[in-house]
Chains A and B, each alone.
Chain A
Amino acid sequence: MIGASLAGLSAARALRRQGFDGELTIVGAEARRPYDRPPLSKEFLAGEIDEGDLALELDDENLDARWLLGAHATGLNTGAGAVTLGDGTEVRADGVIVATGARARSLPGTQHLAGVHVLRTIDDALALRKDLRPGARLLVIGAGFIGAEVASTATKLGLDVTVIEVAGTPLANTLGGMLGAAVARLHSRHGTRLFCGVRVSGLTGTERVTGVKLADGRQLAADVVVAGVGAIPNVEWLNGSGLELANGVVCDAGGATSIPNVVAVGDCAAWYEPCVGAVHRVEHWTGARERSAIAVSTLLAGHYQGDPVKPPYFWSDQYGCRIQFAGFARPDDQITFEAGDLNDHSFLAVYRRDERPVAVLGVDQPRLFTRIRRQLEPLPTAS
C-alpha cells in the first residue's frame, strides 16, 4: 500500500475485510498516522480541535500491517514486484495499491516568501494558523472550496479577508454558472470581498509578502496570502514504471491500471467514469473512502468485479452553511429548485438531463439532499 491517508487506510481496511490475510506494508510520505484532512481548513485551522481529533484510526484498531511512515516511494518496478523508497530500500510485493494522493499547487517563485501558504497537510495548517491574527489582511487566491473555507474560517477569526478568482464565476466547472455564483454569494453576505475575473501576476515583498500584483496593474495589500489553486497528483514516482499516467494514474471503472496486480485509488487516480465517457480524477473524501473497497476487490480478483460506484459526493462547510453536492453536472442540465430559490439562504437544486436527476446541490438542506442523492443513478457498471 503506497499511501497512508484516507484512501490508503480505507483500502487497508478493505483488504482485511475482504479476507486478505497476507503481509501488508503501508508506506506513507508523511510521518504521521492517517488523519482527516477536511477539518484542516475549518475547525482545526480555527484552533477548535487538535491533532488527536483528526486521527482516522479507531483506538483498538489493528490492521496487522507494517507501517513505513515518513518514507517516500520513488519507483515502481513491476517486473521485479518491488517499490523503491527514498532511502534506497526496496519493498517487495505481489500486489500494489497506489494511493499517493495529491499535493497542493503552489504559486511559482514564492517558496522563499514568508506569509504565503498552501493548505494540504497538518503542517500547512499549523503554519497558516500562526499567521491568522485578528485584524490582519488575508488574501485568498482561488475561490474554490479550500479557498472559500479558509476565507470563512479567517473571517470568523477576525481577519480582513479578500478572495480573488481568475474565473468570471467561482465554482462554475463543478456547480455550473448560476449555482456557482449563488454559493459564492456567501462571501459577500459574511463580509468577505470577492473579486472575480482577475489574474494574479505576482506577489510583492522581499522577505515577507506585502501584497499581490494583478494582471490589470492593480495591487492589493496583504499580510497573509493563501493559494487555493488546485492540487497535483503525486504520480511522478511512477514515471518509467509502465503505468499509464495522464493527470493521475489511468484506471478502468474499478481501479485497475494498465499493469496487472497494480490498482490505484484516491486523489492520485483517474478512474474511467462511464457517465462522463472519459477518465476523471475525483478529488473527494468520499471517493477516496468508497472506491478503495472496489479497488481492493479488483486487486484480489484480478479484474473489476462490477460493483457500482456511487456518484461523486462532497460537502463544504462555509460561514456556518452546509453545502452538499453529488453527481456530475453539465452546463446544459435543467435546474429546478425543490426547496428555496437562488435568493434564499437555504435551497436545494436538482440538475436533470433527459428528465433524470444527475446531480444535486443543497445549502442547509441535509434531509432533502440525501433523499435526492439516493435517486441519482449509480454509475453503470462496466460491460
Chain B
Amino acid sequence: MLEVCPLAALPRGEALRVESDPPIAVFHTDDGEIFAIDDTCTHQDASLADGWVEGCEVECPLHASRFDLRTGAVDAPPAKLPVRTHEVVVSDGTINVVLNAAPPNLPPGVTTNAVGKAGQ
C-alpha cells in the first residue's frame, strides 16, 4: 500500500499526481469520492491529474479522451485502452492506494521500470 497524503491536503475538486512508476493520479471528486487511476493517458503522454473532472469522469487535458474514474473504461475517444484503477483506502485521515497488479496500458513511447512491466 502506498501512502499518498493526508485527506485534508486534497480538497474536493482537486487531483494530485503521485510520482510512482508509473505515476498515479488521485482524484477527490465534487461529490466527495476518492479515486486512483494510472496518471498517464493511454492514448498519448499526458497527465490525467491535469484533466477536467465531471462527475465520475476525467477528460484528458490534451486530446479530450475520457475515462470513467470508477472502472478506468474509455468513455470517449481517441483513447481506446482503459487506464488501470487502484483501490483507495482512507484510514486515520490519510489517503492510501493499493497498487493494481495488472500491467498498465501505457501510450506509445512511455515505459515503466516497475516489476511486471508492460505497455509496449
How many pairs, one residue from A and one from B, have CB atoms within 8 Å of each other in the complex? 42
A369 and B61 contacting across the interface, CB-CB below 8 Å: yes
> Contacts A285-B64, A315-B63, A370-B61; is A56 near B46 (CB within 8 Å)?
no
Distance of B46 from chain A, by nearest CB (Å): 7
Contacting residues, chain B, for A370 (C-beta < 8 A): 50-52, 61
A322 touches B80 (CB 8 A): no
Find the residue from B63, B77, B80 having the highest chain A CB count within 10 A: B77
Cβ of A49 within 8 Å of any chain B Cβ, yes or no, is yes
CA distance A6 to B76 in the complex (A): 11
Q: Does B26 contact A (CB under 8 A)?
A: no
What distance in Å separates the Cβ of B4 from its nearest Cβ neighbour in chain A? 18
Given A366-B50, A370-B52, check contact A289 B61 (CB 8 Å): no
Q: A38-B63, A286-B64, A322-B62 are in contact. Are A366 and B76 (CB under 8 A)?
A: no
With an 8 Å Cβ cutoff, the count of chain A residues facing the other chain is 23
Contacts of A373 in B (CB 8 A): 52
Q: Are A289 and B50 within 8 A (Cβ)?
A: no
Tell me, in angstroms, the Cα distance from A369 to B63 when the chains sit together. 13
Check A87 for interface membership: any CB of B closer than 8 A.
no
Offer 29 A-B interface pairs, CB within 8 angstroms, sorted by A: A36-B77, A36-B78, A38-B63, A38-B78, A48-B108, A53-B108, A55-B80, A56-B77, A56-B78, A58-B74, A59-B80, A285-B63, A286-B64, A289-B64, A289-B76, A313-B64, A315-B63, A322-B62, A324-B62, A366-B46, A366-B61, A366-B62, A367-B47, A367-B49, A367-B50, A369-B61, A370-B51, A373-B52, A374-B52
Interface residues, chain B, with chain A CB atoms under 8 Å away: 46-47, 49-52, 61-64, 74, 76-78, 80, 108
Q: Which residues of A contact B (CB under 8 A)?
A: 6, 36, 38, 48-49, 53, 55-56, 58-59, 285-286, 289, 313, 315, 322, 324, 366-367, 369-370, 373-374
The 7 closest A-B pairs by CB, nearest first: A367-B50, A366-B61, A366-B50, A370-B61, A36-B78, A56-B77, A370-B52
